Amino acid sequence: MKKVTLALIISLAFFSCKTKEKTENTTEIIVIGAQHKPVPNFNSEILFTILENVKPDFILHEQDSSAFNEAFKFIKTPTENEGMASSKYIKKYPETELRPYEFENRNQYRIDNGMRPTDGLTLRLVDSLYKADLLTASEVKIFKTYQEALEPLISIASKSPEAWNNVRADSLCKYRQFYQYKMIPKITNNRDEFANKFLIKPNGEKISYRDGYQLWADFWDLRNQTMAKNIMKIAEQNVGKKFVVLCGFMHRYYILKELKRLSKGKNITLKEFYEK
């Protein structure tokens, strides 16, 4: 009986140590969807309070390496909510570290490849065709659904951060972006207006509105997938730490989806900022 009891105690002690080791080595990632510019219901002070409650070891920003110096400090004084809140937090808790995770040279990449400004020009052309009653019935349905998909997002964006950092809000963002990047091309790829209007890229080559918009639509996937991979790389280099990932809230659903896929089978937990 004593041998059985001793074996049980040893087994429980071993299990306890393993559980403690797993907990201590667990990496936490909290993805916080943000609004970049200060608005009455969300500003840098509100975000700073969230950071104080979460107490991260690392704060990851939707910016590339050009925004930081070699010590991962901001080169320029931030003007957006995320940067202002992080700067205040770092000043109070200097042991916290910043890191970029954005697709490198994002804006120039889009310009060089003809995605900009064909994205906006293409959407304006779709809108003008819609207003002129020149779209087919199926095209009208796509464009109206795309427009209407923004309405609930405008509504939740006027509320507290919890309102756009949850599963329902993620679903609304996913639906709207699906129409922007997957359904609008069903119009632009099937109408001659978009094949016969061109933009000149910086290298002097022509690109049609159709091709430019399709490249932009494809870049949505590439950009978000790249950002998630960059986040995972930083997390895997700093096991057991707590990370806050700050992103525009329209990106949150995609980044979370990718992080769930990439972290499968790893000692990484994904949490909300309001979860204990």
| 201-220 pLDDT per residue, tens | 999 999 999 999 999 999 99
Q: How far apart are CA 131 and CA 140, in angstroms?
A: 10
Residue 20 has pLDDT above 70, yes or no: no
pTM value is 0.90
Distance set, CA 273 to CA 16, 48, 50, 154, 266 (Å): 28, 12, 7, 22, 21
Q: What pLDDT score does 99 carry?
A: 98
Q: Is 34 exposed, middle or buried (0-12, 13-18, 19+ CB in 10 A)?
A: buried
The least confident of 12-16, 22-26, 63-67, 203-207 is 12-16
Q: What is the pLDDT of residue 276?
A: 82
Q: Indicate the pLDDT class of residue 39, thresholds 50, 70 and 90.
A: very high
CA distance linking residue 83 with residue 134, whole number of Å: 45
Burial of 59 by CB count in 10 Å (0-12 exposed, 13-18 middle, 19+ buried)?
buried
Q: Which residues of 167-193 are buried (b: 16+ CB within 10 A; e: fewer)?
A: eebbebbebbbebbbebbbebbeebeb
Whether 130 shows a pLDDT value over 80: the answer reads: yes
Q: What is the pLDDT of residue 23?
A: 52
DSSP SS3 for 21:
helix
Confirm if 65 and 106 have CB atoms less than 8 A apart: no
23-27, 83-87, 125-129, 246-250, range with the lowest pLDDT = 23-27
Instruction: Average the pLDDT over 220-248 and give the result.
Output: 98
> Which of helix, strand or coil describes residue 85?
helix
Q: What does the mean pLDDT of the chain come to?
A: 93
Cα–Cα distance, 75 to 245 (Å, whole number): 20
